[in-house]
Amino acid sequence: MRWKEQILDLTPYQPGKSIDAVRREYGLEKIVKLASNENPFGCSKKVIETIKEFSTSLAIYPDGYATDLRNAMADFLKMKPTQLIFGNGSDNLIQMISRALLKPGYNTVMSAHTFSQYSHNAIIEGAEIREVPDIDGAHDLEGMLEAIDEKTSIVWVCSPNNPTGKYISGDDLISFLDRVPKETLVVLDEAYKEYVVAEDYFDALELVEKYENLITLRTFSKIYGLASLRVGYGISNEKVIRALEPVREPFNVNALAQKAVIAAISDQEFIEECRQKNREGLEQYYQFCREHNLSYYPSQGNFVLINFRVDADEVFQYLLERGYIVRSGKALGFPTSIRVTVGSREENAGVIEQMKAFLSRS
Ligand SMILES: *Cc1c(COP(=O)(O)O)cnc(C)c1O
């Protein structure tokens, strides 16, 4: 058969280990998953209530345009409904954007250590990938500008960046956007936006009004705690949205998810509380790192990358066998680091205790 050659040795996405898999493998009772940056506090009670009351004919297709959700979101953001596009997770939007813009003979620019789906989708579309080495976990925006040429269709900017947690300041982003050619789409991935507390962070919605070649992606999978429902969205100007809409699958956001997300945005108190607890959780890890002289990147997300200065898989395995699933930095470009999601206070204390035990093993 005539498979695209480039997909034949492309490996499928490797998710963090699941709780069930670890339970089966190690016969452990209590397992804590701190591997996929999910919200340890679940989701808003309003979402749970909405889901309990959910009743619709399962035989009927969902609203493909997600009209109610679109209007609720437009109200919330104070944007026009036509400036929004919804995805089955923001992964789905990354795929749509890649499909719409990438092809052989063209290239896409990204940081060397960032979210893996940008390069994954570029490979599938047969575009050249230009990875620009980061500077201490942060995007090298100047280097990325240099890598852009007349064949660059997309430049990916992830802020806060997964897996480092580093963010881009408003001034740096504006200076970058001022110089990206108008023919290149800038995709700003803000999956962790709601966790940001840095005062010099940018307002992507303002920037979207100013830069015609900018789209920002957000998700309900992280702070909103709805990863299993799969909803992400893009915000841009109407021209970009109109160009992308035909690429979207007709019914890509299911009916239950559409209802649940409307409830989720109505409870910003829950989001505020999670943001606050996340900062406290990060402090637990920072303190541990300082006490043990380990380096880490200060994070604006709900995860932290800690350098143990040994083979990351060793730390990963040690923690796994003790019931804590974290992410080895090996596949993320940080071979001696562990990426750990900030959990509840108790979960953080628990995994830190095991990290301490790892450091003092003989
Ligand atoms: C988790 C994550 C996503 C994907 O989120 P979904 O909406 O669940 O598909 C996208 N980008 C980054 C940087 C992420 O960390």
Ligand 1 atom nearest to 162, measured from its CA = 13
Of residues 185 and 331, more confidently modeled = 185
Lookup: tokens for 306: 């800690």
Give mean pLDDT, residues 238-267. Answer: 98
In this prediction, residue 348 has a pLDDT band, given cuts at 50, 70 and 90, of: very high
The CA distance from 53 to 18, in Å, is 29
User: pLDDT for 201-226, tens place per residue?
Assistant: 999 999 999 999 999 999 999 999 99
Q: Whose CA is nearest to atom 5 of ligand 1?
A: 90
Distance 360 CA to ligand 1 centre (A): 35
User: pLDDT for 105-139, tens place per residue?
Assistant: 999 999 999 999 999 999 999 999 999 999 999 99
Distance 159 CA to ligand 1 centre (A): 12
- On the question of pLDDT at 362 being above 70, the answer is no
On the question of a common fold for 5-43+269-359 and 54-265, the answer reads no
In the block, which residue shows the tokens 């303002």? 206
Ligand 1 atom nearest to 222, measured from its CA = 1
C-beta 190 within 6 A of ligand 1 = no
DSSP run (H or E) holding 33: strand 32-33
C-beta 90 within 6 A of ligand 1 = yes
- On the question of pLDDT at 16 being above 80, the answer is no
Lookup: tokens for 223: 């702070």
In this prediction, residue 98 has a pLDDT band, given cuts at 50, 70 and 90, of: very high
In the block, which residue shows the tokens 């040994």? 310
Strand order in the sheet with 295-296: 295-296, 303-307, 337-341, 327-328
Q: What is the pLDDT of residue 281?
A: 98
Cβ neighbours of residue 142 under 8 Å, at least 6 residues apart?
none
Contact 305, 334 (CB under 8 A): yes
Q: Is 240 exposed, middle or buried (0-12, 13-18, 19+ CB in 10 A)?
A: buried
Return the CATH number of 54-265, one of 3.40.309.10, 3.30.43.10, 3.10.20.740, 3.40.640.10. Answer: 3.40.640.10
The predicted model scores a pTM of 0.96
Lookup: tokens for 340: 């750990």
Lookup: tokens for 99: 């499909």
Residue boundaries of the structural domains of the chain: 5-43+269-359, 54-265
Distance 48 CA to ligand 1 centre (A): 22
Specify the pairing of strand 152-158 against strand 185-189: parallel
- CATH number, span 5-43+269-359: 3.90.1150.10
Q: What is the pLDDT of residue 32?
A: 96
User: pLDDT for 296-347, tens place per residue?
Assistant: 999 999 999 999 999 999 999 999 999 999 999 999 999 999 999 999 999 9
In this prediction, residue 14 has a pLDDT band, given cuts at 50, 70 and 90, of: confident
Of residues 56 and 251, more confidently modeled = 251
Ligand 1 atom nearest to 93, measured from its CA = 9
Contact 120, 99 (CB under 8 A): no
Distance 121 CA to ligand 1 centre (A): 14
DSSP of 69-131: HHHHHHHHHTS-GGGEEEESSHHHHHHHHHHHH--TT-EEEEESSS-THHHHHHHHHT-EEEE
Contact 351, 284 (CB under 8 A): no
Distance 168 CA to ligand 1 centre (A): 18
